[in-house]
A and B are shown apart, each in its own frame.
Chain A
Amino acid sequence: MRQSEEIAERFPDLHPPFEAQAAIAESNRCLNCFDAPCMAACPTHIDVPRFIGKIARDNLRGSALTILDANVLGASCSRACPVEVLCEGACVLHRYNKKPIEIARLQRFAMDSFQAAGGTLLRKSQEEHPEKIACIGAGPASLACAAELRQRGFQVTVFERRPLPGGLNTYGVAEYKLPARASLEEIELIRGLGVEFRYETEIRTRQDLEQLERTFDRLFIGVGLGAAHRLGIPGDDHRDVIDALRFIARYKTSDPPPIAESVAVIGAGNTAIDAANAARRLGASNVAILYRRAERHMSAFAFEYEHAKQEGVRFLWRVMPVRIHSDEHGIRSIECVQAAVGEDGVLAAVSGSNFHFDCQQIIYAIGQSPLLELLSACRGLELSHGRVAVDRATGATSNPKYFAGGDCVNGGREVVDAVADGKRAGVAIAQAFEAAHA
């Protein structure tokens, strides 16, 4: 992986790490609630008061292992989680002195200390089991499933189409939250358990799957989502019309991409905001998010919206792109119309409201399609709205050989949701085999 110093300079930590004494002071603010709401709010149910108490009592190894026991990607979650709507949002101190415990930064402190001390993941069983499990995709769901199974003594191989593991953790989370380097360091711990990784190995066809089915006893599908939705307007095939996830992946894992003076970002989800902020940090002076609905409809979290405004991103509401104009020098502008909700509740263009937003690059983040080619290649795999239908508690699909979790099941949520899915599937797969051995 190449990463320039320029990227490191332009994307410093949004939430800088704690110094040791500050971490102890913060950890001592924690009330140590019983049946703590923060633990309940965490999809992986990390025992937050327990790990924070261990920081306060100078048991950093115990703190990190408490986190990792619940969430093997505790380091990346500490940086990437939208904690305002999870653990920190649930903190009872909102109702008292109003300032919640800085759980994410404390979690990062524990995980950084663990990494710095050369910590390794613990096995949950010393037994070795012969069963082999294939995890398709090396994103958070698969990594959590793979780690859980390997910790319990099963033989796990992860197949990844890209050259690096981690999925969106490595390629897709804004660098000021989670640098690709930190994602890879965390995955090294999982590899250290003895999980085998096969990179640049895409599983796509029925033949690919049949081959895996012959070798492996169970298959976990953690492939995430597929291609980004395109704008579908004239001119959207121009080379400077860029898929936001590709744009983010590029600046995170190779040289900084050339950035234009003025950039339009289409869409108002969290990915659109990450892309818009990145465009600003990479040097664009004029970055605007164009969204066809109103502020209150945006799918980005409120704190992401606030952050983007601080980064200098402008927002244009109720705007629908209709055409991209370019000449031999490149893109000149994106032509838009104002949108209004008609009496029938359908969004429609206001006639005569056309205007041009001058820009040289257009980044689009309006959602991703499911990986239907692969998913429909799995025999007997029931889908629902393009998502794999599973039993939520176990990740079991309609095909007993297949389990699934992460974005391909939930349609695209957070890293921590994928980790929770993967872990539940790992536990379910392991328990079935362990019961058979018993």
Chain B
Amino acid sequence: MPKAPDLAVNFAGIRSPNPFWLASAPPTNCGEQIMRAFDAGWGGAVWKTIGEPIVNVSSRYSSIDWNGQRMMGLNNIELISDRPLEVNLREIADVKKRYPKNAIIASLMVESKREAWHTVVAQAEDAGADGLELNFGCPHGMSERGMGSAVGQVPEYTEMITTWVKEKARTPVIVKLTPNISDIRVIARAAKRGGADAVSAINTINSITGIDLDTLIPRPNVDGKSSHGGYCGPAVKPIALNMVQQVAGDAETGGLPISGIGGIATWKDAAEFILLGCGTVQICTAAMHYGYRIVEDMIDGLANWMEEKNYASIEDFRGLAVPKVTEWKHLNLNYKIVAHIDEAKCIGCELCYIACWDGAHQCIYLDRVSGPVDGPVDLHTKPASIEAATRTTITVTPIPKLDAHAAASNGKNATPLARIPRIDETECVGCNLCSLVCPVENCITMVEVATGAKPETWAERTAAGDCKPPALTQH
């Protein structure tokens, strides 16, 4: 029997039984919560940012629902911990004593003074923290006071404060990066120059989630006014993956450990962040939505996938997708795929048809006819005339006895041939749109077509020195 995969990680020197950490946020507000989280299976927790206690407002959160699902995206205007520093430190010591194998990372934010940082670093480490995460990312409230993203948006400040922390720290230092900048690599490089042992990315994104259309007050409503918040949850995952890839693929910061954050809710999300180089992943919104119990399937699902793929440890697959992201100019221009519809699976919704006509390249047709072979075929019937024809059809309710339903020729409930779209492969550009809108798994697949041409990238095509488009160079 094969050995079960080992999910334990050593992240920049911080040991954790698995790569799943709770991000610095409401789920890690106090020791009681974090102990329950560890009981549920979480490998580590980044303590809700400690510093000088603040005062919060109510309300604090707002969200985006999508297609009937709650909280596709979550926004908050909550500040760092509102509990006294001594209480947080005492609880860190208490939890560490009871859960020595789990990772506790203290998230820190104090005013931009060397002494202040030296003090809080010593306090956190004395309490027993396994590592430190510098909160240079909080985009709301704290940034107005010169902290959080006010630091993380300026490379010089990031480097300076990281340097101060490293002067004092005995445990690994993680710099948490804000996405609210034009190029995240600039800040990641600054953190590395300051001596950071790792980075975590991304913090929340500046956002206004919406406006109440009755009161005209944006959400969340604090006595008639709102303020921009930090956006997270499933909606931000693609943005986070891109930023993680940028740091992982950068010549200067490549190899710097990354703790991935941003919309991770399932083991698959986690696997994707790890494939782009992350050593651990941090979760917040999903735990706020469903509770600590979600970690069970994160561990189980990831372990099952690793076993299926023969990965014995996280290191076995970490970063494998990094070299598979490249610049556009290095993509093969002579690779051709076309869409293929599996007629047996097609349910006749015709979403691919309308998507191709209105949103892509007009190469899907509804012209499969069951009439005579030499009968009239209208090859280019457009969407509007198809709908108009249906509206003018006279339809009546079938009566079982009188209207013995002309059963579809290809079986009960089968899709009528006329509703199964046809793809003109000579016109198909292989854009994927039809396969993306098709609700049936594996009904539309993209199939490679041999072009006979050998692979060639834009970079290669223009390497000869003249950068003119191919149509001109052929003359």
Contacts and interface: CB of A to CB of B under 8 A. Distances in A.
B399 A34 contact: no
Contact of A93 (B347, B366, B414): B347
Contact of B67 (A28, A96, A413): A28
Given A45-B391, A95-B415, A417 B397 contact: yes
Contacts of B415: 92, 95
Given A34-B349, A92-B347, A95-B415, A28 B68 contact: yes
B399 to A, nearest CB: 6
A35 B386 contact: yes
A92 B399 CA distance: 21
A231 B234 CA distance: 68
Contacts of A86: 397
B399 A40 contact: no
Interface stretch (B135-143, B321-329, B350-358): B350-358
Contacts of B401: 297-299
A85 B398 contact: yes
Determine the interface band of chain B, counting residues with CB < 8 A from chain A. Answer: 20 to 34
B390 interface: yes
A28 B383 CA distance: 23
A297 B401 CA distance: 7
B397 A413 contact: yes
B349 A56 contact: no
B90 to A, nearest CB: 43
Interface string B375-404: 000000001001100110111111111100
B440 A96 contact: yes
B368 interface: no
Contacts of B398: 85
B438 to A, nearest CB: 10
A31 B419 contact: no
Given A92-B347, A302-B400, A40 B354 contact: no
B370 interface: no
B386 A41 contact: no
Contacts of A300: 400
A43 B395 contact: yes
Given A31-B351, A31-B439, A392 B390 contact: no
Nearest to B388: A35
A392 to B, nearest CB: 5
Interface in B330-354: 347-351, 353-354
Contacts of B69: 28
A82 interface: yes
A299 B399 contact: yes
Given A31-B439, A35-B350, A96-B347, A85 B397 contact: yes
Interface residues of A, number: 41
B355 to A, nearest CB: 9
Interface in A35-56: 35, 37, 39-43, 45, 56
Contact of B413 (A31, A95, A393): A95
Contacts of B413: 94-95
B348 A37 contact: yes
A32 interface: yes
Nearest to A21: B68
A413 B413 CA distance: 24
Nearest to B403: A85
B461 to A, nearest CB: 39
B412 to A, nearest CB: 9
Contacts of B399: 299, 413
Contacts of B400: 298-302
A300 to B, nearest CB: 8
A28 B69 CA distance: 9
A414 interface: yes
A35 B354 CA distance: 9
Contacts of B391: 39, 45
A102 to B, nearest CB: 14
A27 interface: yes
Interface in A68-122: 81-82, 85-86, 92-96
Interface string B411-434: 001110001000000000000000
Contacts of A81: 397
A33 B397 contact: no
B68 A56 contact: yes
Contact of B351 (A33, A298, A413): A33
A96 B439 contact: yes
B68 A95 contact: no
A416 interface: yes
A284 interface: no
Contact of A417 (B353, B396, B419, B440): B396
A24 interface: yes
A304 to B, nearest CB: 10
B390 A35 contact: yes
A368 to B, nearest CB: 15
A369 interface: no
Given A45-B390, A299-B401, A92 B349 contact: yes
A95 B198 CA distance: 51
Given A95-B413, A297-B401, A299-B400, A39 B68 contact: no
A88 B397 CA distance: 12
Contact of B395 (A34, A41, A95, A298): A41
B351 A32 contact: yes
A25 interface: yes
A410 B68 contact: no
A410 B402 CA distance: 12
Nearest to A410: B396
A298 B401 CA distance: 7
A416 B415 CA distance: 25
A43 B351 contact: no
Nearest to A300: B400
A94 B402 CA distance: 24
Candidate in A35, A45, A300 with the most chain B CB atoms within 10 angstroms: A35
B420 to A, nearest CB: 11
B396 A34 contact: no
A86 B383 CA distance: 23
A40 B349 contact: no
Candidate in A39, A94, A95, A302 with the most chain B CB atoms within 10 angstroms: A95
11 contacts: A32-B351, A34-B353, A37-B348, A39-B391, A40-B390, A42-B395, A86-B397, A300-B400, A392-B394, A413-B397, A420-B395
Given A95-B415, A302-B400, 4 more contacts: A56-B67, A86-B397, A96-B439, A410-B396
Q: Which 10 A-B pairs have the closest CB atoms?
A: A28-B68, A34-B354, A34-B350, A95-B347, A33-B349, A92-B347, A414-B397, A28-B67, A299-B401, A25-B68
